[in-house]
Amino acid sequence: MPNRQSPGLPNRQQILDFIASSDTPAGKREIARAFGLHAQDKILLKALLKDMADEGLIDSAPGRAFHKMGGVPKVTVLRIVDVTEEGVPIAVPENWDSDQPPPRLRVVVRGKRDPLGPGDRILSRTEEAGSGWLAHPMKKLARGEELVLGVLRREGDRLWLKPVDKREKRDWLVSDAGEADVGDLVLAEKAGRPPRMTVRVTERLGDPFAPRSFSLVAIHKFGIPDVFSEEVLAEATAAAKLPLGEGREDLTHLPIVAIDPSDARDHDDAVWATPDEDTGNAGGYRAIVAIADVAYYVRAGSELDRSARKRGNSVYFPDRVVPMLPEILSADVCSLKEGVDRAALACHLRVGADGTLKGWHFTRATVRIAANIAYEDAQAAIDGEAGRVPAELVEEALKPLWACWRLFAGARERRGPLDLDMPERRVELDETGRIASVAPRERLDSMRLIEEYMIAANVAAAKALESKKQPVMYRDHEPPSREKLVALKEYLETCGVSFALGQVVRPETFNHLLARVEDAAMRPQIMEQILRSQTQAYYAPANTGHFGLALGSYAHFTSPIRRYADLLVHRSLVGAFGLAPAVEQTRLPAADAERMPALGEAISRTERRAMEAERETIDRYVAAYLTRFVGEVVDTRITGVRAFGFFATVQEIGGDGLVPVSTLGAERFTFDEAAQALVGDESGDRYVSGQLLKLRLVEADPISGALRFEPVEGANHLPHRRHDSRDRPRTGKPGRPRNIRHHGGR
């Protein structure tokens, strides 16, 4: 390379030293100012900097600061790509133009910042520390993915990418489609800078409408790990061959049964109950909740354990499950299957005649499940239908279980947990993987029964560990915030329902509120608003109680095949009570006990990721199912109201769609934020959350999961009220759509 120099021009090493020592981003202007360069020298500096970039000494994209090749700018935008076992976020530079792999920076988080997880973006100060880099967050930025997941479409002679995320409002011009073709589902990376950004296809994923594609979209969008390494698979295969071990309690003689959904992919839990013969517990029951002894097979510190921790939980889609553990464990050796000996952690319960827990203890056991029974079959058998379950099992297993459950149910009613009956959608696929039906999942007593046994075991696990002063990964659910309660009060006032803010709010407060609602049509919308007022449950070693269940101590113990939190509780129980077989790696390591707060944050993040992925996938299946009804009038219920329109869902099926305010006619509408309603200024017609409407389905997009509706003239009788001078809406603000004004809540 030519050696461009002038008397005032710095040499290569001086420039490198300045870039490394500068406390601010060092661009061409900063370098010129630092060395006192004049106009002619600046031209030479530009050429010298280009030479240095060509030589691999520095790198930078046009318009950005320079930094040493392999280094990181002093202040830059980073993207979180991982979180270590200690809870330390790992980040990489969002923009990296070197051919070398980007450096991985350990993010130093101080104070009570929002937890950082994969995909988050931060503006950070960086520093080189020893053999690595550290990042000190200055500001958390809006999430901006470098990769876009979408479907290719052609317009004229150009290719465009239509994103699958319905929040993306624009299509992207494709600069390089690679081997992908129109109609393909692809991953593409953004290139260039606004306003001329394009995308380049990096991976072709195939036909977006093919069976199994909807879940594949979610897996890629949310970065869900769905492939196990060879090392993890080898460890799982070796673990599956382990003998059950000595010292286990033998429970193989008991008719313990597993009652699960008919489409269950794994079986964590099984139950048994019998009347208690102890005269000190007259009218009470003894019960056993047997849970797969996953801690025996997944040893702490192994690659198998690290993989499970990173996944955090299994993710369930209509067409597949992305398991936390390899299938040889999750669907076979750890799964409690009928007629085979299995390792279990048994929770022995003494249930009083009043349904409260009088005592508990834990053992490692060997169980032989008498039957795997579907919820529907168990319910039919207990209702007297013959042939669904062997008669002897009905007498020996199901009837005692139901009798004990009735005691639990009585205690639950007196405890008063939050009782919101929100329907769950069930997507059924045919043999080819196509959608056969979408319908609400029926709520049976058999489901409530298993739920109560699981709650009892979870409470016992938490209290048992508390008694030994051992680490507990609690399932915390805090009461609603005052801000949420104020918003709920304002909404309820618009429905004519009173709600006092000064009272101590308990779950039964909301139950009593719902009981006062006489209008059955109004109850679902109020139930939905109550649900929205609740906080999100999370995992943590600090006990704040479980508000929704009205419980003071609650942990997750019953699903270690699919939740890492439960595995941690199992290990803590094994160590606290010295349960045999005494294998040290099946106890909770001291290091894990110390980093429980970080572990709680990490597995709470993976749980939220799974919930979002599952919900979006269901939305896509529902949209695909509804494509056959486009153009038809369907029964809907309003689920949300905004200034720009309202969202509605198809009754009995689900799937949210938008009705833009522009389609409501020429009348001007005001958005009443407190009432969550759009109100016609002249007619007083109201569109309010929870309202039932007949709407025409005009679009169903399986790629994004979005629906769009329009009103049907004369099909709906709209509630209305007349305005008087005291409640006439204020004048709309400039710049809003011509037929909408915003009337905010207090």
Mark whether 250 and 336 lie in a shared domain. yes
Total structural domains within the chain: 6
DSSP percent split of the chain into helix, strand, coil, nearest 5: 30, 30, 40
Is residue 389 located within the same domain as residue 354?
yes
CATH code for the domain in which residue 183 is found: 2.40.50.640
Both 350 and 396 in a single domain?
A: yes
Alpha-carbon torsion angle 560, 531, 627, 174, nearest 10: -80
Distance CA 339, CA 367 (A): 9
Instruction: Please check whether residue 588 lies inside any domain of the structure.
Output: no
Does some domain include residue 554? no
- For 40, 362, 408, 500, 706, the CA distances from 35, given in Å and listed in that order, are 13, 74, 80, 69, 57
Do 204 and 341 lie in one domain? The reply is: no
Of 36, 68, 100, the last residue of a domain is 68
Nearest to 572 by CA among 462, 498, 650, 485: 462
Residue 615 belongs to some domain of the structure: no
Same domain, 502 and 528: yes
Q: Alpha-carbon distance 212 to 220, whole Å?
A: 13
Please tell me what DSSP assigns to residue 283. T
| Contact criterion met (CB below 8 Å) for 302 and 322 | no
| pLDDT at site 427 | 84
Answer yes or no: is 469 within a domain.
no
In a domain, 605, yes or no: no
Question: Does one domain contain both 434 and 519?
Answer: no
Indicate whether 121 belongs to any domain: yes
Q: 335 and 243 share a domain?
A: yes
> 45 and 168: one domain?
no
Quote the pLDDT of residue 188: 85
Q: How far apart are CA 75 and CA 139, in angstroms?
A: 11
Q: Which CATH number does the domain housing residue 85 bear?
A: 2.40.50.140
* Tens digit of each residue's pLDDT (9 = 90 or more) over 364-422: 999 999 999 999 999 999 999 999 999 999 999 999 999 999 999 999 999 999 998 77
Indicate whether 358 and 326 sit together in one domain: yes
Query: Residue 181: inside a domain, yes or no?
Result: yes
Predicted pLDDT of residue 31: 86
Instruction: Note the pLDDT of residue 737.
Output: 35
Whether 49 and 169 map to the same domain: the answer is no
Residues β-bridged to residue 93:
78
What's the pLDDT score for residue 99? 58
Q: Are residues 325 and 410 in the same domain?
A: yes
408 and 263 co-located in one domain: yes
Range of the domain at 126: 75-141
Residues of the chain with pLDDT under 70: 1-8, 23-25, 53-57, 59-71, 96-100, 111-113, 142-146, 193-194, 211, 717, 719-746
- End of a domain among 492, 507, 534? 534
Q: For the stretch 670-696, what's the b/e string if a residue is b when 16 or more beta carbons lie within 10 angstroms of its beta carbon?
A: bbbbbbbbbbbbeeebbbbbbbebebb
| 252 domain-assigned | yes
Strand partners of residue 349: 287, 360
**Cα separation, 457 vs 555, whole angstroms:** 9
